[in-house]
Structure 1
Amino acid sequence: MNAPQGTVTITHHFGAIEVAEEAMMTFPTGGLFGFEKITQYVLLPAARKGLWWLIAPNADATTFVLADPFALDADYAIDLGEHERADLAIEDANDAFALVMLTLPEGTGAMPTANMRAPIVFNLNKRLAAQVVSREESHELQKPANLTLYPLQEGGVSLG
């Protein structure tokens, strides 16, 4: 079966997911740290508001969980350099949308952690993204992330 116009079908280990082409993001300067060769991802809202799925559609469905960093730290700030703004075609601060990567614990009782030091910055209008290293040394690599700060939402994608 063919996907409708304007959509892309991703094969994930949880099944086929049909997403709008607008959800496709390109990392023009290389992918995520450790995944530099993967430069195309799909960004989808998760079942909790402020959490997102970042899925590599052509790389065995490599999937990351991203979170709104401002829910974890209201004073969080990102200072993008001139090259980063140019790579992402960010002309105005409102063009930038930042998320941080979560690491989920393997065992029960442990809390997920957020990498506040290397956020992923998106220009949603241009469908561009880049992982950047924050110049702010106080940002933690493993900040405890209480997922109850992110309320359930309708319309989010649930994997599993």
Structure 2
Amino acid sequence: MNIQTKYFGVQEIDRAELITFSSGLPGFPDDRRFILQPFGEAFSVLQSADHVNVAFIVTSPFLFFENYSVDLPEHFTGRLAITSEKDVSIQVIVNVCRPFALSTANLKAPVVINRVKKTGAQYIADHSPYSLHEPLVSAAEQRA
């Protein structure tokens, strides 16, 4: 199947690559089918297969925040049919800024993907120690 993507033009994808978000993402309830496209070494694009302009730069939070953790409640893991931690991919949406050193990640609401079942949802914790705008580059790294 061919889809029009925001960053890469028309792409041929296998339907088996589609990740279904049964409720869409917050603010994008009509976008329920997505693909993950590599975007450099540390990033990917979470691209809607339903609307070309709905695409998010995402990354694994563990690449930038070594102590990051998320405790998913049973009702959430059940909704995604998650049976093993190995089946899960955690991604966070990146707000890319210029200069890049000002870019932030939404650690408070990670995107959780069951890689086996190809289902996904954004998990928004009621109480979280994390920010919606956590700097990807620490102040010390910016000075260096």
- Normalised TM-score (structure 2): 0.85
The residue aligned with 2:69 is: 77
Amino acid at match of 2:56: F
Q: Residues 28-71 of structure 1: CA distance to partner in whole angstroms, max 9, x if unpaired?
A: 2x1111112211111122222x3111111221341110011001
Q: What does 1:18-37 align with in structure 2 at a 5 Å threshold?
A: 18-28=12-22, 30-37=23-30
Q: What does 1:46-61 align with in structure 2 at a 5 Å threshold?
A: 46-48=39-41, 50-61=42-53
**SS of residue matched to 1:118:** coil
1:103 and 1:114 in contact (8 A); partners too? yes
Q: 1:126 aligns with which of 83, 101, 117?
A: 117
Residue 131 of structure 1, CA deviation: 0.1
**SS of residue matched to 1:116:** coil
Amino acid at match of 2:57: V
Indicate the structure whose relative CO is greater, using CA pairs within 8 Å and at least 6 residues apart.
Answer: 1
The residue aligned with 1:4 is: none
Structure 1's 23 and 111: CA in aligned 2 closer, same or farther, altered over 3 A?
farther
2:3 and 2:49 in contact (8 A); partners too? yes
- Normalised TM-score (structure 1): 0.77
Q: 2:9 aligns with which of 15, 27, 35?
A: 15
Structure 1's 69 and 47: CA in aligned 2 closer, same or farther, altered over 3 A?
same
Structural RMSD (CA)? 1.7
Residue 135 of structure 1, CA deviation: 5.2
Extract unaligned runs of 5+ from structure 2: 138-144
1:11 and 1:61 in contact (8 A); partners too? no
2:101 and 2:136 in contact (8 A); partners too? no
Extract unaligned runs of 5+ from structure 1: 1-7, 147-160
Question: How many residue pairs get matched?
Answer: 136
Q: Distance in 2 between matches of 1:123 and 1:71?
A: 19
Residue 109 of structure 1, CA deviation: 6.3
Structure 1's 109 and 64: CA in aligned 2 closer, same or farther, altered over 3 A?
closer
Q: 1:96 aligns with which of 88, 91, 105?
A: 88
